[in-house]
Amino acid sequence: MLNEKVKGTFLRNEPMAKHTSYGIGGPAQAYITPADENDLKQILIFAKDKGINTFFAGSGSNLLVADEGFEGIVITLGKSFTKLGIDGNKMEAQVGVMLGKIVKETIKRNLTGMESMIGVPGTLGGALIMNAGAFGGEISNCLDIIKVMLINGETKIYQKDDIVFSYRNSTFPKDEILLSATFTLNEKPANEIQYDRAKASKGRKDTQPLRFRSAGSVFKNPKPDLAAGYLIDQAGLKGSRIGDAEISTKHANFFINHGKAKAKDIVDLILLAKKTVLEKFDVNLELEIRTLGFTPGTFEI
């Protein structure tokens, strides 16, 4: 049995509501935090041999999980793959390191390139897959190399140019799990870095409903100069509520959980927003959040 092989943490029928920023989601058959690379390798080989579905989750900060849960294994590296090393202007970090820690440690050394990520929740791994960014910066800007593990347990190194990074997207193969990444950062006067950090932090506090549970931006911006939140706002949907889920009155691309929202409530709001924006503006909004456990076609209108 798999639970006897795992050296890290193995939780059976674990409610995913405990592991997402939304606080929403039914049980995963198994929720596993591998102890190290070898542990991860054994888990992947077992799952492949047995034909078990696997899903790689970071901190769950941009994840919506179905009320029915997930038939398979959820693997998270957020509690074990957390090494961070900085030597001069080179930084090497495992994918479980929180973005907040990276921002703090680089700013402390007067290194620029990460300060726009201040307040962005989640781990480095999820940020790389989504090519996370804020206030003009993207996580891939300073990236050099990435180490991954294939589904058969082998490891592989990618150079940055091997992967295509675009707005909230990357071309990492879906069946590979990121392990670590190396970055080259630039030095900058401390006062300038602190100014950029403070500007990003204030922008986040002023525009986002940080007091409520959410998964960040629900939809990608259709164009660089056309925000999804603007379209949802102009469609008159700010404040729309289904159950305990609401389209935020502060930022229309944030859908918040007032405490007891179900995944179905968020899904219904997503479909309402997609349908209304398509009808009013002929724009088909594309999800930015990741989803797990839903039947195909759930988010199509």
pLDDT tens digit sequence for 139-149: 899 999 999 99
Do 7 and 68 share a domain, yes or no?
A: yes
Do 47 and 137 share a domain, yes or no?
A: no
Supply the CATH number for residue 222's domain.
3.90.78.10
76-79 LR contacts (CB < 8 Å, sep 24+): 76/19, 76/31, 76/32, 76/33, 77/33, 77/34, 77/40, 77/123, 77/125, 77/177, 77/179, 78/33, 78/123, 79/9, 79/33
Do 278 and 188 share a domain, yes or no?
A: no
- DSSP character for 126? H
Do 8 and 40 share a domain, yes or no?
A: yes
Supply the CATH number for residue 135's domain.
3.30.465.10
- DSSP character for 20? S
Residue 179 lies in a domain: yes
- pLDDT at position 243 is 97
Query: Cα 217 vs. chain centroid, distance in angstroms?
Result: 10
Question: Would residue 288 show up in a list of annotated catalytic residues for this protein?
Answer: yes
Question: Would residue 168 show up in a list of annotated catalytic residues for this protein?
Answer: yes
Residue 91 lies in a domain: yes
- pLDDT at position 2 is 86
- pLDDT at position 210 is 66
21, 59, 80, 217: the catalytic one is 217
Do 100 and 201 share a domain, yes or no?
A: yes
What are 284's two structure tokens? 């088909």
Containing domain of residue 269, as a range? 208-292
Do 185 and 99 share a domain, yes or no?
A: yes
- pLDDT at position 136 is 66
- What DSSP line would sit under 82-115, residue for residue? --EEEETTEEEEETTSBHHHHHHHHHHTTEESSG
CB-based contacts of 115: which residues, under 8 Å, 6+ apart?
103, 106, 107, 137, 193, 196, 197, 200
Do 172 and 248 share a domain, yes or no?
A: no
Rounded to whole angstroms, the Cα distance separating 291 from 64 reads 5
- pLDDT at position 78 is 82
Supply the CATH number for residue 61's domain.
3.30.43.10
Question: Would residue 71 show up in a list of annotated catalytic residues for this protein?
Answer: no
Do 89 and 202 share a domain, yes or no?
A: yes
Domain boundary pick from 206, 236, 265: 206
Residues of the chain with pLDDT below 70 are 134-136, 200-201, 203-210
Domain boundary pick from 49, 76, 103: 76
21, 168, 240, 248: the catalytic one is 168
Domain total in the chain: 3
- pLDDT at position 137 is 72
37, 138, 246, 288: the catalytic one is 288
Q: Hunting for tokens 């592991």 — which residue is that? A: 19
Do 51 and 144 share a domain, yes or no?
A: no
Q: Hunting for tokens 């927003």 — which residue is that? A: 273
Do 127 and 28 share a domain, yes or no?
A: no
CB-based contacts of 81: which residues, under 8 Å, 6+ apart?
94, 95, 96, 97, 125, 179, 180
Residue 297 lies in a domain: no
Residue 298 lies in a domain: no
Contact 271, 197 (CB under 8 A): no
- DSSP character for 267? H
Rounded to whole angstroms, the Cα distance separating 116 from 114 reads 6
Phi and psi at 97, nearest 5°, equal -70, 135
> What pTM did the predictor assign?
0.88
Residue 141 lies in a domain: yes
